[in-house]
Chains A and B, each alone.
Chain A
Amino acid sequence: MKTELICAGFGGQGVLTIGKFIAKAGMKEGKNVSWLPSYGPEMRGGTANVSTVVADEPIASPIVSYPDILVALNQPSIDKFGDSVRENGVMIINTNMCPHGCKRTDIQIISAPMSDIATEIGSPMVLNMIAIGIIIGKTGLIKYETMEEDLTSFMKAKNPELLEKNLIAIKHGMEIGKQ
């Protein structure tokens, strides 16, 4: 079993971090993983994306051409990667920043106002955690417990309040994903 994921959005939305947490959790659950970021003369507000692969078998190419899951935190991400999502694949859309959405009917689309939800939880920073929650709720690619353990290990002492908000965001995302 191999799951290929592309996360894309504006620089600063935490897209690279989504991939990193998924890869790290996959690794902790005994899977093979790879994480390949776009890099270049990029800046906050520019575009960023990351290819992440989680697999039982050794990973050959870390480059993802046809993702099973696309996390699109803004409209340019849908425009760029929308057509490449595999048939019956999953597209997770942040409706706050994707005014035109996606017109495909052969994939499963989960839309949520993720920026608004993050603000309600109390920090725009947890936007990416909502996306991770949706992935967990919808696909079960990684376990919530692995995420909680990982976040707790480095956040509890430093910033317990933010840890709490992150965990709330993941759980909220899981609810959306399960619907």
Chain B
Amino acid sequence: MAKALINVPAKARRGDVIEIKALTSHIMETGYRHTAAGEIVPRDIITSFTCRFNGAELFRADFFPAIAANPYLSFFMIANDSGKFDFEWIGDHGFSTTASASLSVVE
């Protein structure tokens, strides 16, 4: 299981817009590189990322080989309720990793 790093504020005031940062370690091999012998290095990338908050989809991304290695994403959410973030990365050759984080909303 690859390492994932999540950065979400633990607390937020109701109605605040918060930033969510997610990073995972992955080579993101493009499939366009070749070895010195001339063989193509097969593609191995993360193809999709999903972030759910309390089960509902908040953000989703499709990745292509043009996304840099160790894909990093930052996006936003309105903090309406306390709850749990679930992050999921899916990729080539059955790659899959998950992470979670929680947010508590104060008045």
Same assembly: no
Query: Which residues does B use to contact A, with CB under 8 Å?
Result: none
